[in-house]
Amino acid sequence: MIVVQKYGGSSVGSTEKIAAVAKRIAGRAKEAQVVVVVSAMGDTTDEMISMAKALCAVPDEREMDKLLSTGEQASSALMAMALQELGQKAVSLTGGQAGIITERIQGRARILKIDGKRLKDELNKGNVVVVAGFQGITENASWADITTLGRGGSDTTAVALAAALNADKCEIYTDVDGVFTADPRIVPDAVKIDTISYEEMLEMAGQGARVMHSRAVELGQLYDVDILVANSAKAVPGTIITKEDPKMEVRNPVRGIAHDTDVTRFTVVAIPDQPGVAAKLFHAPAQANINVDVIVQNVSSEGCADISFTVADVDFEKAKKAIEPVVDELHAKDLLIDQTLAKVSIVGSGMRSNPGYADKMFQALASEGINILSIATSEIRITCLIEREKVKQAVRALHKVFELEKV
């Protein structure tokens, strides 16, 4: 049996925590071949980002990847030492040594392939293999560069390795107990979900439920890897992310309430309402690898349109730089930027075949006196853009209206 386990930064935030996690891993290694993926220790990554920003306004992404990847390289070596101290054979591998080959795109590289040869050989030698998460290497050996998979990329590393090794289990250990019907810090009644489908998890994650990285879930779905999300410090069952739950028809069609305050809205005012305008406008952020969400277009009276959309706050500067030239080129009247908003969403694959959820959601927000600024929907999600300061109130109201405490 092969088990892939991932431990996040807070689970390996000190040598004491590393030693504690090592015990857990050594126990597991008695019954299975174990691959461990680790994040950087605690705040290491943030500290390195601060240093880089102290040196330059916009650090070069190649150098940034080179810098940040050291965090996971260090924690993986320390974890291997901690395992050895327990008498457990162990070896640490960088992303490159683990055969994780990515595109040559810095900061957000996608995995192209995994050459699992060394990983398997090290496992067969009786080693727990500790892989530095979040990173890979570009293909060409003599010009190989270190790449990173983007924030939260260690989850992606774990799922990708589980897929490549055809592992029996993929376990993501973190500092939360699993996926909840809403953020328990906001909704004390929130209930842990035992099983959630890939699609639902993707919608939850995409809307700010920061339990797992979306790309990791997508990868799990693509390669049919069941993913357990659980607490590294407790012995309680977590949440399993897997294919559509057969019990779905008898359960609450709404699985959870997600929210995201990490939202910047751009509004491009009065651009000509002509074919190709949207294509031009959104080509720029796409080129810059920026995710755009909640796109709304209003046609105004004089043959002009207003287009608004949101990006993550972290992408704000990059997005602004990418969009401004296009706004000029299209002779738009203005570019408005709003950083006082938040997204709140209801998610559930049962909503697909049952109408009326949007109505119920809007009613609930209205009865709380919360104004809806934009609406975006997917098959299994409805998202409203609201004032940021009312987001907790909105999450609580929706959790109650959809009776999620009874799940």
The residues binding a copy of itself (CB under 8 A) are 15, 18-19, 48, 51-52, 54-57, 59-60, 62-64, 66-67, 69-71, 73-74, 76-78, 80-82, 84-85, 91-92, 94, 97, 115, 117-118, 141-146
Q: Which two tokens stand for residue 279?
A: 């294509």
Least spacing, CB of residue 162 vs a copy of itself, in Å:
22
- CA distances to 203, 261, 310 from 341, in Å: 19, 7, 10
Minimum distance from CB of 228 to a copy of itself (Å)? Answer: 27
Please say which residue, 122 or 203, places its beta carbon nearer to a copy of itself.
122
**Other beta carbons within 10 Å of 217:** 29
Burial of 373 (0-12, 13-18, 19+ CB in 10 A): middle
**Cβ closest to a copy of itself, residue 40 vs residue 172:** 40
Which of 73, 345 has the CB closer to a copy of itself? Answer: 73
- Min separation Cβ 88 and a copy of itself, Å: 12
C-beta closer to a copy of itself: residue 16 or 302: 16
Cα–Cα distance for residue pair 389/7, rounded to 1 Å = 33
Angle between the 15-29 and 61-85 helix axes, to the nearest 10 degrees? 60
* Residue 110, H or E segment: none
The identity of residue 381, as a single letter, is R
Residue 159, judged by CB atoms within 10 A of its CB (0-12, 13-18, 19+), counts as buried
Please state the φ and ψ torsions of residue 340, each to the nearest 5 degrees.
-115, 15
| Identity of the residue, 18 or 29, whose beta carbon is nearer to a copy of itself in the bound complex | 18
Choice between 122 and 200, CB closer to a copy of itself: 122
- Least distance to a copy of itself, CB of residue 70, Å: 4
Minimal distance, residue 32 CB to a copy of itself, in Å: 22
How many CB atoms lie under 10 A from the CB of residue 237?
A: 13
In the complex, the smallest distance separating the C-beta of residue 2 from a copy of itself, rounded to whole angstroms, is 21
Distances (CA, A) of 139 to 96, 99, 129, 144, 393: 9, 10, 22, 6, 49
Minimum distance, C-beta of residue 41 to a copy of itself, in the bound complex (Å): 9
Between 70 and 267, CB nearer to a copy of itself:
70
Q: How far apart are CB 81 and a copy of itself at their closest, in Å? A: 5
Half-sphere exposure of 195 (CA within 13 A, CB side): 9
Indicate the residue among 165 and 172 with the shorter CB distance to a copy of itself: 165
